[in-house]
Amino acid sequence: MSSEEPAAQEETGGSEPAEQLTGRQRLLKGLWPPRVSRAQLIVALLLFVLGLGLAIQVRSNSESSALRGARQEDLVRILDELDNRTQRLEDEKQRLSGQRTELENSSDQAEEARKQTAEKERQLGVLAGTVAAQGPGITLTISDAAGAVEADALLDAIQELRAAGAEAIQINDVRVVAGTYLADGDDGVRVDGRKISAPYRFKVIGKPEDIEPALKIPGGVVQTLQKEQATVSVAREDKIVVDALRRANRPDYARSSSP
């Protein structure tokens, strides 16, 4: 085409009025029939590049979101908003996970507290005599044929047992606790208002190695009782069951002051 056109240009330039449709004719001539020339190939190459760029641009414009066409300031603003939003969500996440940890901890703590409370209840139940107890200990049997053993002697025995580390005591079928009192009645000894009669059988849970010597020391409980013509026997046992119970009485006035 190029090789011809300067000539054609001159030609048309020469006879412009004669050929009114030269432009259109040239266009048609260029379009058909197709001729392979250097100019055609170079132009085709450049147009190929143009078409490629056009298509890529159109495509990337249409396929991407509004962000691609956005201006820099808008992008900065959008980025800022996203950052803020991320920050907010991050904060919220932190708060919620903190809450979760707290809840987990508190439920753990509640469980732990419940366990400890139950454990304490058992321990206190042993002390208060509301639950049965078992463990190593001794039995102390006082046979009082002469009827000479009175409440104070039994109280001495109980004190001695306590001092020696007895943890649970029962006399016959009465549990001995902190508030237990002994009294001499008309017909015998009363423990917490319940009459008990000889032989007095003490079931004691505690360390036998401590309790037995404590009872048997010279001038101690055993000797004192024996002076009063009572027969006293002390036996260590591996398993003592203290199963006499007391009712748990709710105090009328005293309330726990600890939270």
* DSSP-derived pairing of the beta strands 188-191 and 182-185: antiparallel
181 binds another protein (CB under 8 A): no
Supply the minimum distance, in Å, between the C-beta of residue 83 and another protein. Answer: 22
57 binds another protein (CB under 8 A): yes
The answer to whether residues 216 and 222 touch, using CB atoms and an 8 Å cutoff, is yes
- Judged by CB under 8 A, the stretch of 40-48, 148-156, 179-187, 238-246 that binds another protein is 40-48
185 binds another protein (CB under 8 A): no
15 binds another protein (CB under 8 A): no
Rg (CA), the chain: 55
**Integer Cα distance of 24 and 217 in angstroms:** 141
The answer to whether residues 154 and 199 touch, using CB atoms and an 8 Å cutoff, is no
98 binds another protein (CB under 8 A): no
**Integer Cα distance of 81 and 93 in angstroms:** 18
Q: Which residues contact 61 (CB under 8 A, 6 or more apart)?
A: 68, 69
Pattern 58-97, another protein, x by CB under 8 A: -xx----------xx-------------------------
User: Could you list the residues that contact another protein (CB under 8 A)?
Assistant: 1-2, 5-6, 8-9, 12-13, 20-24, 26-27, 30-36, 38-57, 59-60, 71-72
